[in-house]
Amino acid sequence: MADFQSPLSFPLAIALLCVSSFGCICAHRVGFTVDLIHRDSPLSPFYNSEETDLQRINNALRRSISRVHHFDPAAAASVSPKAAESDVTSNRGEYLMSLSVGTPPFKIMGIADTGSDLIWTQCKPCEGCYKQVDPLFDPKSSKTYRDFSCDARKCGLLEQSSCSGNICQYQYSYGDQSYTMGNVASDTITLDSTAGSPVSFPKTVIGCGHENGGTFSEKGSGIVGLGAGPLSLVSQMGSSVGGKFSYCLVPFSSRAGNSSKLNFGGSAVVSGPGVQSTPLLSSKTMSTFYVLTLEAMSVGNERIKFGGSSSGTGEGNIIIDSGTTLTIVPEDFFSDFSSAVGNQVHGQRAEDPSGSLSVCYSATSDLKVPAITAHFTGADVKLKSINTFIQVSDDVVCLAFAPTASGISIYGNVAQMNFLVGYNIQGKSLSLKPTDCTKK
C-alpha cells in the first residue's frame, strides 16, 4: 500500500548531419535526442496560460476519449458517452516535436503520433485548408522537394492513393471526420537535436497537404507519424537508427520546467537494472500500431486476468500509444479490476466533477492506494500512483483507466510516465525502465 502522489504536487547524444551513408551509420551507433513537447507545456503553441493545471488535465482526459476514434470510429462512443459529448478540439496525440522540411530547412511543429504513419504538413497552394497561424510550407522554395509519379514504388505503400496528372496523391481520414489530402513527395527532413547540431534525413517520403480540414488546431502544422508502418519517420530512418527509438514522458507536475525526450539510434537503447522487456508484435490488418500482450493486472496480491483482444490486431491484445492519456480496457475487465482497486483503497469515494471517470476518491492526505502491476508477456511492470491515479480537481483523484465496449484496448501515456520506453522494431521488443524523466 502506498501514499497517493499527486501529479500536481537521455544519454549524451552527439547529433550528426546525416547526409551520407557514413553519417547515417554514426547516427545509428551514437544516436541523438530531440525534445518531445506536451501540448499543455508552456513550450507548446497549444498552451493556454489562462487554464489551470486541473483544467488542462481534464481537457487531456476528454481528448483521450476522442482519440479512441483514431483506432476505431465505433469505439469512442462506447468509452464514455458523457465525456464523448464534451466540447473539445480533437487531436492526433498529446506530444509535439519540432522538425524542418526541405532545403533550405523550413521549420514546422508537428504532433508526434505513435498511432500514425505518414509525415505530413500543410503546403502551398492551400485553398482548401484549415486556418494555420504559422506560415505554410512552399514546396517550390525547396531545392530537394520531388513529387512522386503514380507508378513510383513509394506510391504503392499508401493504403489510400490516387493519381492526378501522373502525380501520386494521398488521402488520410481520421475517425473524428478530419482529413488530409495532397501530393506524395520526398524531401529532406531535419531534426533539432538537444546536442545542438541538426540531424538530416534526405529523400524522406512526406505528404504535402493541399486540402485539409476537420478539427485540426490552427496552431498545428501537421503530423509526424511514429507508427510501425513503412512510411513512418522511424521506419524511413531505417538502418540509420537501427530501428530503435525511445521516449521518457515527464509527469504532469513537472511539465512547466521540463520537456520529455525522444531518442533515436544508440541513444534509444534501454538497458541496466530494472529493465523489463516484452515482445513487440506486428498487426496483420493494422500495421501502423504497436501491439503488446497484457496477460493480467495485479492489484496488491490479487491478479486479474486480461482476456481482451484488440480488434483487428491479429496478435496481442493491447496497443501502446503515447497519444492517449488514459488506459482503455474492456468493460468486463474494468469491472473486475476497479472492484479489486476499490476493495484495497483506503479512502472515501467521490465523484469526478467532469463525469469522465467513474472510480474516484477524495484527495486527502491519508488516502492510500494499492500497488498495481501490469503483467505483459515476459515483463512485470510495477506502476506507481502517478501511473494509475490522476487528480481531476482540487479534492478528487480518479483511477486513470476507462472501460470500452469496443475490442480496442490501449495502454495510455499516464501509465508510461517516468518510464524510459524503448521500441526496438528490428528486434521486435519493447522495454520499460523506471526512470526519473525530469533528469533525462
Same domain, yes or no, for 337 and 368?
A: yes
Q: How far is CA 310 from CA 94, 174, 281, 298, 390, in A?
A: 22, 19, 12, 20, 25
Could you give the residue ranges of the DSSP H alpha helices within 301-351?
331-344
> Which pLDDT does position 72 carry in this prediction?
60
What does pTM read for this prediction? 0.85
Q: Work out how many domains the chain is built from and give that number.
A: 2
Q: Where are the beta strands (DSSP E) in 192-330?
A: 199-213, 222-225, 244-248, 260-264, 276-279, 291-292, 294-299, 302-305, 318-320, 327-330
With beta carbons less than 8 A apart as the criterion, state whether 331 and 407 touch: no
Determine whether 107 is exposed, middle or buried from the number of CB atoms within 10 Å of its CB (0-12, 13-18, 19+).
Answer: middle
Please report where in the chains the cell 492526505 appears, as a residue: 365
The grid coordinates of residue 193 equal: 537535436
Q: What is the pLDDT along the chain (440 residues), one digit of tens a residue?
A: 665 655 443 232 333 334 333 344 445 457 899 988 888 777 777 778 888 877 777 777 776 666 665 666 444 344 333 332 222 233 446 788 889 999 999 999 888 888 888 999 999 998 889 999 999 999 999 999 999 999 999 998 887 788 999 999 999 877 667 889 999 999 999 998 887 788 999 999 999 999 998 878 888 888 999 998 899 999 999 888 999 999 999 887 665 567 899 999 999 999 999 999 999 997 666 678 899 999 999 999 999 999 865 444 447 899 999 888 899 999 999 999 999 999 999 889 999 888 889 999 999 888 999 999 999 999 999 999 999 999 988 899 999 999 988 778 999 999 999 999 999 998 999 999 999 998 87
Tell me if 390 is assigned to some domain.
Answer: yes
Same domain, yes or no, for 256 and 277?
A: no
Q: Would you name the residues annotated as active-site residues? A: 113, 321
Same domain, yes or no, for 429 and 337?
A: yes
> Which pLDDT does position 138 carry in this prediction?
97
- Three-state DSSP at 102 gives coil
> Which pLDDT does position 197 carry in this prediction?
82
Residue 25 backbone phi and psi in degrees, to 5: -65, -40
Tell me if 82 is assigned to some domain.
Answer: no
Residue 87: how many CB atoms within 10 A of its CB? 5
| Closest of 43, 27, 424 to residue 195, by C-alpha | 27
Same domain, yes or no, for 50 and 172?
A: yes
Same domain, yes or no, for 220 and 280?
A: no
Where in the sequence is the domain holding 212, given as residue range(s)? 31-74+93-261
Instruction: Name the domain boundary from 203, 233, 261.
Output: 261
| Single-letter amino acid code for the residue at 413 | N
Strand partners, 109: 98
| Closest of 79, 22, 32 to residue 198, by C-alpha | 32
Instruction: Name the domain boundary from 228, 261, 294.
Output: 261
Could you give the residue ranges of the DSSP H alpha helices within 151-273?
233-237
| Closest of 292, 324, 297, 327 to residue 309, by C-alpha | 292
User: Would strands 222-225 and 120-122 be described as parallel, antiparallel, or unpaired?
Assistant: antiparallel
> Which pLDDT does position 212 carry in this prediction?
92
> Which pLDDT does position 18 carry in this prediction?
43
> Which pLDDT does position 412 carry in this prediction?
92
> Which pLDDT does position 158 carry in this prediction?
83
With beta carbons less than 8 A apart as the criterion, state whether 108 and 136 touch: no
Tell me if 323 is assigned to some domain.
Answer: yes
Tell me if 188 is assigned to some domain.
Answer: yes
Same domain, yes or no, for 232 and 198?
A: yes
> Which pLDDT does position 64 carry in this prediction?
67
CATH code for position 355: 2.40.70.10
Same domain, yes or no, for 358 and 320?
A: yes
Same domain, yes or no, for 302 and 256?
A: no
Tell me if 190 is assigned to some domain.
Answer: yes
Determine whether 257 is exposed, middle or buried from the number of CB atoms within 10 Å of its CB (0-12, 13-18, 19+).
Answer: exposed
> Which pLDDT does position 246 carry in this prediction?
95
Tell me if 100 is assigned to some domain.
Answer: yes
Same domain, yes or no, for 190 and 297?
A: no
| Closest of 64, 98, 65 to residue 259, by C-alpha | 98
Instruction: Name the domain boundary from 199, 233, 261.
Output: 261
> Which pLDDT does position 65 carry in this prediction?
62
Same domain, yes or no, for 218 and 298?
A: no
Residue 164: how many CB atoms within 10 A of its CB? 9
Same domain, yes or no, for 160 and 290?
A: no
Tell me if 4 is assigned to some domain.
Answer: no
Same domain, yes or no, for 119 and 244?
A: yes
User: Would strands 222-225 and 302-305 be described as parallel, antiparallel, or unpaired?
Assistant: unpaired
Tell me if 297 is assigned to some domain.
Answer: yes
Integer Cα distance of 298 and 83 in angstroms: 27
